């Protein structure tokens, strides 16, 4: 009897979007070199100076309109369409480049730049424009409640249980373009190992968790992801 195809879970980070022109966080000239997390990416910063936080995300939302998915995003979409087993795509990225490349069911564990949510009525909604402290919620009509739908430091990542279940049920876990410095995402490789899954890291450099992976592909995602996917599908 034919074996069912391996379930694959893929975790992506800022490195997969770097070649599209979006800066990563911790590389040279990364976002955290020009901005302090304490000023723009935590609930305390939003409470202290909401306009500054909104400005940071307004700029990033505007930058999204100027970039396109690259060969790595397209290769993962192709894998999702052609692989006979389940392919779960989990991303720490708040951009929408996976979706624009054709991927479906993408789990954005750190939220999405093109969504906002209202702190008064709890409604999440798509948002492509600038957001300001004075912007009224189109659903409940109240002011000072809308915030980017981003998971800030100190907040819980989204859909963690669903992600961990998928990793535990997978036969292969692949991390692409992530530095392995932010938990719980960085700990998913250990969840995979404990469940007996094979593990692969694709990155231009060594990461904080490289030692936890069985195998590595070192190089730009646009090249290495495309090669890896081609190898899987053409074998
Ligand atoms: P980082 O900036 O920490 O790491 C980017 C990783 O991508 C590094 O390991 C680079 O070596 C690698 N890289 C760079 N260019 C690449 C390329 N062309 N191909 C392959 N790899 C490449 O970004 P993340 O790991 O995604 O969270 O950061 C995790 C989280 O920290 C983010 O989601 C964000 C940040 O603070 C929040 O904002 C909540």
Residues 195-230 pLDDT 10s: 999 999 999 999 999 999 999 999 999 999 999 999
Tens of pLDDT along the chain (235 residues) come to 566 789 999 999 999 999 999 999 998 888 888 888 889 999 999 999 999 999 999 999 999 999 999 999 999 999 999 999 999 999 999 999 999 999 999 999 999 999 999 999 999 999 999 999 999 999 999 999 999 999 999 999 999 999 999 999 999 999 999 999 999 999 999 999 999 999 999 999 999 999 999 999 999 999 999 999 999 998 7
d(CA 118, ligand 1 centre) in Å: 28
Ranges of beta strands (E only) in 73-186 are 87-91, 107-108, 111-118, 124-126, 146-150, 172-176
Q: What is the CATH number of the domain that holds 120?
A: 3.30.1600.10
For residues 12 and 122, state if they share a domain: no
For residues 161 and 53, state if they share a domain: no
**pTM confidence score:** 0.96
Residues of the domain holding 55: 23-66+111-150
Instruction: Evaluate: CB of 205 within 6 angstroms of ligand 1.
Output: yes
pLDDT recorded at residue 1: 57
Instruction: Evaluate: CB of 203 within 6 angstroms of ligand 1.
Output: yes
Q: Which of 104, 117, 114, 22 is nearest to 61 (CA)?
A: 114
Ordered DSSP codes for 22-34: ---SSSTT-HHHH
CA distance 193 to 216: 15
Atom of ligand 1 nearest to the CA of 41: 38
For residues 212 and 120, state if they share a domain: no
For residues 146 and 218, state if they share a domain: no
For residues 59 and 173, state if they share a domain: no
For residues 84 and 192, state if they share a domain: yes
> By three-state DSSP, how is residue 112 classified?
strand
For residues 17 and 125, state if they share a domain: no
> By three-state DSSP, how is residue 82 classified?
helix
Last residue of a domain, one of 98, 119, 150: 150
The two structure tokens encoding residue 183: 């938990």
Atom of ligand 1 nearest to the CA of 26: 2
Write the Ramachandran bin of 19: left for phi over 0, alpha for psi from -120 to 50, otherwise beta. Answer: alpha
Query: Ligand 1: which of 90, 92, 186, 200 to mutate, most ligand atoms within 8 Å of CB?
Result: 92
> By three-state DSSP, how is residue 75 classified?
helix
For residues 209 and 101, state if they share a domain: yes
The two structure tokens encoding residue 132: 């300001």
Total of domains in the chain: 2
Q: What is the CATH number of the domain that holds 103?
A: 3.40.50.1220
For residues 215 and 178, state if they share a domain: yes
Last residue of a domain, one of 150, 181, 203: 150
216 belongs to the catalytic site = no
Instruction: Evaluate: CB of 14 within 6 angstroms of ligand 1.
Output: yes
Ordered DSSP codes for 165-231: HHHHT-SEEEEES--S-STTGGGHHHHHHHTT-EEEEEESS--TTGGG-SEEEES-HHHHHHHHHHH
CA distance 197 to 86: 14
For residues 8 and 77, state if they share a domain: yes
Sign of CA dihedral 171, 177, 178, 179: positive
For residues 30 and 123, state if they share a domain: yes
For residues 190 and 96, state if they share a domain: yes
Last residue of a domain, one of 150, 176, 208: 150
């Amino acid at each position: 009897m034919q074996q069912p195809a391996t379930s694959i879970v893929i975790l992506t980070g800022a490195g997969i979007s770097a070649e599209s022109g979006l800066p990563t966080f911790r590389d040279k000239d990364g976002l955290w070199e020009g901005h302090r997390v304490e000023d723009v990416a935590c609930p305390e910063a939003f409470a202290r100076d909401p306009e500054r936080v909104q400005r940071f995300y307004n700029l990033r939302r505007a930058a999204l309109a100027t970039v396109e998915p690259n060969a790595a995003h397209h290769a993962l979409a192709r894998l999702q369409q052609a692989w006979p087993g389940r392919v779960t795509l989990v991303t720490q990225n708040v951009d929408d480049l996976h979706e624009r490349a054709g991927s479906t069911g993408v789990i954005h564990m750190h939220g999405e730049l093109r969504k906002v949510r209202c702190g008064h009525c709890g409604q999440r909604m798509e948002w492509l424009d600038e957001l300001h402290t004075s912007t009224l919620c189109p659903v409940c009509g109240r002011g000072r409640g809308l915030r980017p739908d981003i998971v800030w430091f100190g907040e819980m990542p989204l859909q963690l249980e669903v992600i961990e279940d998928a990793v535990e049920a997978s036969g292969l876990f692949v991390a692409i373009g992530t530095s392995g410095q932010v938990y719980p995402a960085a700990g998913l490789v250990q969840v995979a190992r404990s469940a007996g899954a094979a593990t692969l890291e694709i990155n231009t450099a060594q990461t904080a968790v490289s030692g936890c992976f069985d195998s590595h592909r070192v190089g730009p995602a646009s090249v290495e992801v495309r090669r890896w996917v081609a190898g899987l599908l053409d074998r």
